[in-house]
Amino acid sequence: MTYENVFIEFWDSVKTSAEAGEFAKLTMAKTIGKPELRNIFVRPVYADSGFKVLLKLRYRSREKDDIENEMSLEEAFEIVKKHLKEPFYTVLLFTIAEDITFKVNKKGAGSITKNVPTFTQVTEAKMDDE
């Protein structure tokens, strides 16, 4: 199965965890080489207007500031999807029920593994400049 189809299945778990109030954090990691973009983090923001996320782009260079934006989960999906395989090969979903890892291998196939949860509670994200 292509990694794109497996990623859609993985993202369904992201949406389900958000709807259930179990979404703790999402992290993109594992690159080949040392690209300028080091990590992407997605943290929950529970607002009166509904569920939002704080997406943070962390850069390798200290001269380049990290970028944070509050957005919908659908908007975050587009950014995360855009960075799959270029440069990130692993996406980790942390929920209070379980940890789910999506990986793309060298042949371009996707896989999903599940583990015991790292987080026991959801902590809402806050902008760094607040």
Residue spans per domain, the chain:
3-115
Determine the straight-line distance between the first and last CA of the chain, rounded to whole angstroms.
43
pLDDT over 70 percentage in the chain: 93
How many Å apart are CA 67 and CA 64, to the nearest integer? 9
| Per-residue pLDDT tens over the stretch 57-108 | 988 777 788 889 999 999 999 999 999 988 999 999 999 999 999 999 989 8
Structure tokens at 120: 């026991």
> Full-prediction pTM beyond 0.85?
yes
1 — pLDDT class (breaks 50, 70, 90): low
Q: Given phi > 0 = left and psi -120 to 50 = alpha, else beta, which region is 26? A: beta
Say what the pLDDT of residue 37 is. 86
How many Å apart are CA 123 and CA 25, to the nearest integer? 9
Coil, strand or helix at 122 = coil
128 — pLDDT class (breaks 50, 70, 90): low
How many Å apart are CA 114 and CA 101, to the nearest integer? 6
